[in-house]
Amino acid sequence: MKPASLKSAPGADLADQLAGFIAKFEPEVGRLVEACRAEVRKLLPTTFELVYDNYNFLAIGYSTTERASDCIVSIAAAANGVGLSFYYGATLPDPEGLLLGGGKQNRFIRLPSTEPFRSPGVLALIQAAIAQADPPPLEKGGGTTIIKSISVKQKPRRKA
């Protein structure tokens, strides 16, 4: 998957950096992260892909601007698996009770595979998140990937 344009640290190749972040995980988790990226990109092709290699997670957010606060959904990967996070999930209609978490804002679903991206309930949640995005996603263009932060200290990305 090649985004339309890339932003990265000077002298660094973004694709190599991102591949390095994903390579820290067990191979099956890494493959799932890549497959989930492809699925989200199909649904949100014009959004900014914001990458945070943080202490707890590798988080890849899909935002209507370069700001994390405009994020629609994120892929969050840790040693124990991958999830799809809804930045404003607490405000989404969830008649099937798919969303997990009890915070004031964020909700998530676990992604044991890419199969949830074919579930009508999950697709409805994603469409509801897109509908409430302010500003809305661009109609064309976009697709930029940006590495926003890299934490020096990180939890292990592989199970002990």
pLDDT in tens, 105-144: 999 999 999 999 999 999 999 999 999 999 999 888 878 9
Residue 29: other Cβ atoms inside 10 A: 21
Compute the radius of gyration of the chain from its Cα atoms. 15
pLDDT in tens, 23-75: 999 999 999 999 999 999 999 999 999 999 999 999 999 999 999 999 999 99
Distance CA 37, CA 155 (A): 22
The reported pTM is 0.89
State the DSSP code for 115: G
State the DSSP code for 72: E
State the DSSP code for 93: -
Distances (CA, A) of 14 to 19, 70, 142, 150: 8, 22, 16, 13
* Nearest residue to 75 (alpha-carbon basis) of 120, 124, 21: 21
